[in-house]
Amino acid sequence: MAIFRKPPSIILKSYSRSLSTIVDPELLLRLSTVLYQQQHAPDSKLHSHLRSFPLPLPISHELVLQLCSRFPLSWRPLHRFLLFSQLPPSSFSHCPTTFTRTLSFFGASKNINLFWSFTGAVLARSDLLTVSFLLTVVCFLAELERSPTAIGDLVTASKLWNRAVEQGLEPGVDAYEEMIVTLFKINRIEDALRMFAALRARRFLDARADSYRAVIQWMCKQGRVRHAYMVFDEMLKRGLWLETDNQTLAALVYGLVVRKRVREAYRVVEMVEHPDICLYHELMKGLLRLKRPGEATEVFREMIRRGIEPIMHTYIMLLQGHMGKRGRKAKDPAVNFENVFVGGLVKAGRMLEVTKFVERLMWGGVEVPRFDYNKFLYSFSSEDGVAMFEAVGRRMKEVGMVDLGDVLLRYGEKMATRDRRRRLRVDA
C-alpha cells in the first residue's frame, strides 16, 4: 500500500528572520542562565524565577528564536520555557518561523516523543503547515533511517503531508529527492519508486541528474540492476549524460558484477573517458565478492597504468580479498598468514589484537573482532616497514603468490611512510 496519496513537496528555504522585535541582550543572558540552572527544578520554583523577569507581553517570536540558538545541546530549557509561555498572561502563539525552528531544534536533540507531540500542533493550526515544516520532518526521518520507530513516524509524516497537499502546496524537485532517499533508507523501496514515478509524471522537465542518480545507486544496492539500467537509459535519452558522475556508473558496475554480468561491467568501465578511483573500487569490490581476487588485482594494475594512484582503502580491500578477513594459510611457511600478519602485529607490540585473534583460533565460540589489516599497515608505517614489505612481497612472488606480492610491494614503495604518501599527493 502506498503511503502517500500525493507526492511530497519540500522546497529548501532558509528560516525567515524578518521579525522586527529586538531582544535585550542582558535580559536574554539572564533568562538563559535561569532556564539552564533551573531546568530540573519543580514548576513552581521555575515559574517564580521566570515571573521575576520583565518579559515582553505577549512573548515575542524573536525571543523564542534567540533561545533556540542558546541551547544547541539541551532541549529541556527551551521546552520548559515554551510550556511556561502558554500560561496566562503570556499566551504565546507560534508563528510558522518559530514553530519550524523549534521543531528542528527538538529533532536535532533526538527526542522522538517530544518531536512528534510538538508536531501534533499542526493538526490544530493549519497556518503552521509550511514547506519548511515538511523539510524538517523529512530530514528528521532521514536521520532515523532504520530505527524501529521510523515506519510509524513515516506514516505520521504522510498524514501531515496529505493535509498539506490538500491546501495546495506544490512539490519541488528537492522535495522529491529528499523523500526518495529517505524511503530507500528505511527500506520502503516500492514507495520510493512510486515517488520517483510521480516526479517524472508531474515535473518531468525539472527532473535532474541528481534525481536519477539517487534511484540508480539505491537500485544497484538492492540488486535490482535491470530497473537501474532502465532508469539509466532514460537518463541518457534525456541528454543528462554530461551531468553523469562516475559514482553513478560505479554503482551500475558493482550491481552488474555481483549479478555475474562481468563483461557488461567491463564495457561500462571502458566507455568512461575519464575514470576515477571510485569506478575501479566498485569493480574490484564486486570481483572480490565473487571470489576472484586475481582479476581484482589485475584491475588494480590497470588503474595504476592509467595514472590513478591507489589509496589506503584500496590496499585493505585487496588484502581482505586475498587473505580473507579471518586469514588463510599459504603454501610456504615463510609467507604464511600467521607469520606475516599476526607475527607482524607481535613485533609492533599490538599484543591485544594478537591475543584476541589467537583466542578466536583456539576457542571458536569466543566472539572477537576479525583481523584488522588497517592496524597492521599502520603499525609498519616506517622505514623498517618499507624493508619488511619489500622482503615479504618478493618472497610471495617467488612462491607463486604474485598478485598479493605486487600489492605489498606497491604499498611499501608508495604508502609505507608519511613522507612517501606526501610525495605521492604532490606528484598527483
22 is a domain residue: no
The reported pLDDT for the residue numbered 418 is 63
305 is a domain residue: no
Total number of domains in the chain = 2
The reported pLDDT for the residue numbered 195 is 82
Burial-class residue 367 by CB neighbours within 10 Å (0-12, 13-18, 19+).
exposed
188 is a domain residue: no
Is pLDDT at 239 greater than 70 in this prediction?
Answer: yes
Q: Out of 124, 144, 172, pick the residue that ends a domain.
A: 172
The reported pLDDT for the residue numbered 23 is 79
20 is a domain residue: no
Q: Out of 123, 156, 172, pick the residue that ends a domain.
A: 172
229 is a domain residue: no
The reported pLDDT for the residue numbered 364 is 59
Q: What is the pLDDT of residues 29-60, one digit of tens each?
A: 999 899 989 888 998 999 998 888 888 878 88
pLDDT: which is higher, 202 or 356 = 202
Mean pLDDT of the chain: 76
Stretch 321-344: mean pLDDT? 66
390 is a domain residue: yes
The reported pLDDT for the residue numbered 178 is 76
Is pLDDT at 320 greater than 50 in this prediction?
Answer: yes
Cell 518531536 maps to which residue?
Answer: 115
Is pLDDT at 219 greater than 50 in this prediction?
Answer: yes
| Residue 276 · residue 311 · CB < 8 Å | no
Stretch 376-382: mean pLDDT? 76
The reported pLDDT for the residue numbered 135 is 63
Is pLDDT at 97 greater than 60 in this prediction?
Answer: yes
pLDDT range class, residue 283, cuts 50, 70, 90: very high
Q: What is the pLDDT of residues 14-27, one digit of tens each?
A: 333 344 457 788 88
252 is a domain residue: no
Is pLDDT at 417 greater than 80 in this prediction?
Answer: no
Is pLDDT at 184 greater than 70 in this prediction?
Answer: yes
Q: What is the pLDDT of residues 102-153, one digit of tens each?
A: 877 887 777 777 777 777 666 666 666 666 666 666 666 556 554 434 455 5
Return the minimum-mean-pLDDT range out of 32-46, 83-97, 216-230, 352-366: 352-366
Q: What is the pLDDT of residues 143-174, one digit of tens each?
A: 655 443 445 556 666 666 666 666 666 666 77
What is this structure's pTM?
Answer: 0.62
262 is a domain residue: no
Q: Out of 131, 147, 172, pick the residue that ends a domain.
A: 172
Stretch 393-416: mean pLDDT? 83
Q: 417 is in which domain, residue-wise? A: 325-427
Q: What share of the chain has pLDDT > 70, as a percent? A: 69
Is pLDDT at 80 greater than 70 in this prediction?
Answer: yes
